[in-house]
Structure 1
Amino acid sequence: MPVFTTQIKAIGPEAQSLRESQMMILFGEEAPAMLAEFCYTIEVKAIHDTIKVGQNIIFDDVPYFITAVGDVVKQNLTSLGHITIKFDGAREAELPGTLYVEGKSLPNIKVGSRIEII
């Protein structure tokens, strides 16, 4: 069973601008309007286990190895659907609400894309 599964409901007009910084922001449908412009809006869903280094986050069928997990990733994802994903392969979490994954090209996300953590 996946640790977490959700789907992209909407993409803010400025969300793609963060790709240059090797990052993306997920947020549930309750995101403040100004922030939602920079976010990929997701369905807020339950998390079934701990999110940890060594797992994968999968965007549609493209896996990314998780390299570090901020202290409040699980809490924020559960309550708000809000985390930042940084595609830089960092081994230590610099920010508490950020999930760090291997540094490779960012996924091609569209409305309806599926996200899983396994």
Structure 2
Amino acid sequence: MSTAMTTVYDTTVTAVGSQVPAFIEHGILIFFGEQAPAELHDISVLHRVDVADDGPRPGDVVHLGEESLEVLAVGDVVRDNLLNLGHLDIKADGLTEAKLPGDVCVRKGPIPLLATGDAFRITRPATTAEQDLS
């Protein structure tokens, strides 16, 4: 039985910086809202927000185009950075405790290279009752 998911953040990619593939090779994907300063465009995936109800929490799922990654850990400033600036740092390091306050940690492994028009979305289980039973 699958758990219903609620979308807490939903955006569309509007640009992918020229240096993004190099960061992905190191397991890092950086997002900024479209209004980010020009000096950040080369290293970032820029996006336009459609839904911004909350930031990620451990157990949420980050959807990057067709790929889905479970959130393992979230730093203290992630929610504010995402909701105020559209800024998020995804690190495929497998850590269950974020090293830096802006980190969102997911499993070790490849991160997909997004393209203009792709979705960037965060979903959360609609209920935590099933988690409480385990």
With normalisation by structure 2, the TM-score equals 0.81
Question: Which residue does 1:72 correspond to in 2?
Answer: 77
Aligned pair count reads 118
Cα deviations across residues 43-70 of structure 1 (Å, max 9, x unaligned)? 1454324521111101122110101001
Whether the 8 Å contact between 1:57 and 1:116 is mirrored in structure 2 is yes
Aligned counterpart for 1:51 among listed residues 56, 69, 73? 56
Alpha-carbon separation, structure 1, partners of 2:54 and 2:33: 19
Residue segments in structure 2 that go unaligned for 5+ positions in a row: 1-5, 124-134
After TM superposition, list the pairs within 5 Å mapping 1:23-42 onto structure 2. Answer: 23-42=28-47
Q: Secondary structure at the match of 2:52?
A: coil
Higher strand share: 2
Kindly indicate whether the alpha-carbon contact (under 8 Å) linking 2:54 and 2:79 is maintained by their aligned counterparts in 1.
Answer: no
Distance 1:18 1:108 in 2: 10
Counterpart contact for 2:28–2:91, Cα < 8 Å: yes
- 1:85 equivalenced with 2:90 (yes/no): yes
Q: For each residue in 1:48-93, what CA deviation from the matched residue of structure 2 results, as whole angstroms up to 9, or x when unmatched?
A: 2452111110112211010100111111111110111101111111
Q: Is the Cα contact below 8 Å between 1:44 and 1:80 reproduced in 2?
A: no
Partner of 2:15: 10
Mark the structure with the bigger radius of gyration.
Answer: 2
SS at match of 1:92: coil
Say what the alpha-carbon RMSD is for the aligned residues.
Answer: 1.4
